[in-house]
Chain A
Amino acid sequence: MRLDTVITLAIVAVALGTVIRRLVKQMRAARTSPAGGPGCGNCGDG
């Protein structure tokens, strides 16, 4: 496999990890304490 394909796939894997981590964080926020926002980033809450 070419080096540039390996780097590309690594970047895609990191992006996938970021999206999954964000999803898990939001689902946790739906369950936990009243303090703090679920972190949409749009409101500056998280």
Chain B
Amino acid sequence: MNAPAAPACLGLDRPLRVAIIGNPNTGKTTLFNALTGLRQRVGNFAGVTVERVEGAFTLGDGRRVTILDLPGSYSLTAGSPDEQIALEVLLRRDRSHWDPDVVLVVVDAVHLDRNLFLASQVCELGLPVVIALNQIDVAESQGIAIDIPELIHELGVPVIPTVASRGEGLDPLRNALFSAAALPAPTPRFAIDASAETSLARHKWIGEVVSRTVTRRARSLDTPSDRVDAIALHRVGGPLLFLVIMALVFQAVFSWAAPLQDAIESLVLAIGSRVGDVLPEGDLQSLVVDGVFAGVGSVLVFLPQIAILFGFIGILEQSGYMARAAFLMDGLMRRVGLHGKSFIPMLSGYACAVPGIMATRTIEDPKDRLATIMVVPLMSCSARLPVYTLLIGTFIPALPLIPGLDLQGATMLLMYLLGTVTALAIAALFRKTLLRGPVRPMILELPPYRWPAPKSLMVSVWQRCQVFLRRAGTVILSLSILLWALATYPRAAQDPTRTAEQQQEAQLAHSVLGRFGQAIEPAVAPLGYDWKIGVSIVASFAAREVFVSTMGTIYGVGGEDDAALADRLRAETDASGAPVYTPLIAVGLMVFYVYALMCMSTIAVTVREAGGGRIGWRWATIQFVYMLALAYGAAWLVLVIGRALGFS
């Protein structure tokens, strides 16, 4: 059945097309989510949306609207790649020919003067326009009163007050979109160009409009946000507070997750054991128990850590603290030659390098952008979390350091800091060599602090958990099965003189995986690793978590009981009886994972975002090679220095 069309007066036989545009951090995506029921990522800082996202909604009478959320922009003459995306749609030059029928401009009621610059430009495009005056509640709480009828009169377009975060004003807005589509486009006042004369004339006109429509109640300059910022942005106190917050987050990842992790681990072991009992002895039983349960199960146990980490990141993002973190880092970023805007993509890299690299589209200068792309994968992403957590939980003792922080939490914090500090150092190197250029100042808007919305926070954590589970159920499951096959075939001859454990070791050594591992062992031996670690590292080039699942599979095939992976790693010894894994080896391995670029998706997105084709591949190759060299060199240094200091 065809979707009911837009009003017949428009002559459209398709749903109405609405493009959403507005300044960064005005609540465009929150409004988009409220209108469409979708769950696009939102944050209390600029630059969260860097590409076009399409959704749809249907009115009660069956009329349908498709709606396009565009990246934030301060004007129609700006030049960063994300702003270009918005511009192409509004100027009807979009390659997919998604030409909007109505433009919905989201305007922050608190900063009407600044937001009207873009809104007034959009009004001159010859398209019907509706303005959503969003965050009207915040404006009222700050003593700002807006004469909406007068504003409609001044602008010549419908203006609808909204509070997108609470879903207020949505029905009038939906109706206004349909009504506006049948109205003529507003009359242009100025030309859309980047000349100083036009900009000055536009600002002057905006000043007059604001003076006629906005009244401000005298209020204290010392708002709650200002009082918090006095500490959060203090030259000494600010960075200290940032470190304390991050230390607490990583400590919580260990302390809070432990009981849940134990419960999941027991459940996975119990189900694996029960399934093993039901299946007849043979290849299929081994595949299910040693491949699927030992492999995927060893990764699944890290679900609580993922949920806790992203719960905290969500709170920091939605509260507005992340924008303060970017502000704190701006001076440091400029000293290393990076634009302050680079910090948001780097922060996104803590979740995953792919959206981090895509977030560099907010950076106008190509050299700034490329330097940021080259270092974003050094930020420890969530795929590294299972590796860090397994190794820290198994080999680093929980020695209390200061109240609220033990050695495990501190080690985790150190790994994240190591990646961040190295990213800044490498960026400085790129900016002084291959990507030399001037450093530009950054204008950063600090949003007011807001309480995170519990529902939105839960949704964002659940989405992260879903992604983790989907990844475990697809790529990690497939690779675990393949690795099981490689560790199982060809079958070694049965030797009655061997114990069960010796027979399993012989099987592993005889398998394709074992032979491959022994072939590459000389390459990893200088780092203190045996062939099993070498194989796990190679396998994890597909996805970092596969290190853990490969370990699970190898020790599942080679193990004799159903002990947890951590216990098997602790008990593993070499031919001389010495432990294969020591705290020093674990730290070296973690350092290797901080630096190595082991992610096919990141390589693919770097190729594309660095220019595509041969140029893109060249930068992706440079990125892969320098990160691998850094990983190998740093892991070797950890081993050498550690041994010189007397660690085993």
Contact = CB atoms under 8 A, between A and B. Distances in A.
Interface string A9-23: 001101110110011
B600 interface: yes
A40 to B, nearest CB: 3
A29 B605 contact: yes
A40 B482 contact: no
B604 A35 contact: no
Contacts of A43: 351-352, 354-355, 467
B599 interface: yes
Nearest to A18: B478
B352 A5 contact: no
A41 B354 CA distance: 10
A18 B590 CA distance: 29
B436 interface: no
Contacts of A41: 467, 470-471, 474-475, 601
Contacts of B351: 42-43
Interface centre among A15, A31, A32 (most CB of B within 10 A): A15
Nearest to B480: A15
A36 B358 CA distance: 9
Contacts of B95: 33
Interface in B373-398: 381-383
A39 B282 contact: no
Contacts of A45: 354-355, 358
A36 B470 CA distance: 18
Interface centre among A7, A26, A43 (most CB of B within 10 A): A43
A40 B602 CA distance: 8
Contact of A42 (B352, B358, B477, B479): B352
B352 A38 contact: no
A11 to B, nearest CB: 6
A12 B475 contact: no
Contact of B287 (A8, A32, A38): A8
Tell me whether chain A's interface is mostly helix, strand or loop, or mixed: helix
Contacts, number: 118
A26 B478 contact: no
Interface in B595-618: 599-605, 607-608, 612-613, 616
Contact of B51 (A4, A7, A22, A35): A35
Interface residues of B, number: 49
A23 to B, nearest CB: 7
Contacts of A36: 51
B601 A19 contact: no
A21 B7 CA distance: 44
A42 B474 contact: no
A40 B608 contact: no
B224 interface: no
Contacts of B543: 40
Given A40-B352, A44-B463, A5 B604 contact: no
A42 B383 contact: yes
A42 B463 contact: no
A4 B284 contact: yes
A34 B608 contact: yes
Contacts of A30: 603-605, 607-608, 612, 616, 620
A28 to B, nearest CB: 9
A40 B283 contact: no
Nearest to B85: A34
Given A8-B283, A8-B284, A30-B603, A38 B482 contact: no
Interface in B446-477: 463-464, 467, 470-471, 474-475, 477
B241 to A, nearest CB: 28
B389 to A, nearest CB: 16
Contacts of B403: none
Nearest to B357: A37
Nearest to A26: B604
Nearest to B383: A42
A22 B612 CA distance: 20
B604 A12 contact: no
A31 B616 CA distance: 9
B599 A40 contact: yes
A42 B616 contact: no
Given A11-B481, A43-B351, A29 B282 contact: no
A42 B95 CA distance: 28
B549 to A, nearest CB: 12
Contacts of A19: 475, 478-479, 482, 542
B608 A31 contact: yes
Contacts of A18: 474-475, 478
Contacts of A32: 608
Nearest to B612: A31
7 contacts: A4-B282, A7-B284, A22-B474, A29-B605, A32-B608, A42-B351, A42-B381
Given A7-B284, A12-B485, A43-B467, 19 more contacts: A4-B280, A4-B283, A8-B287, A12-B482, A15-B477, A15-B479, A15-B485, A16-B478, A18-B474, A26-B601, A31-B607, A31-B608, A35-B52, A40-B601, A41-B601, A42-B352, A42-B471, A43-B354, A43-B355
6 smallest beta-carbon distances between A and B, as pairs: A40-B601, A15-B481, A43-B352, A30-B607, A30-B604, A38-B604
Interface of B: 41, 51-52, 81, 85, 95, 280, 282-285, 287, 351-352, 354-355, 358, 381-383, 463-464, 467, 470-471, 474-475, 477-479, 481-482, 484-485, 542-543, 599-605, 607-608, 612-613, 616, 620
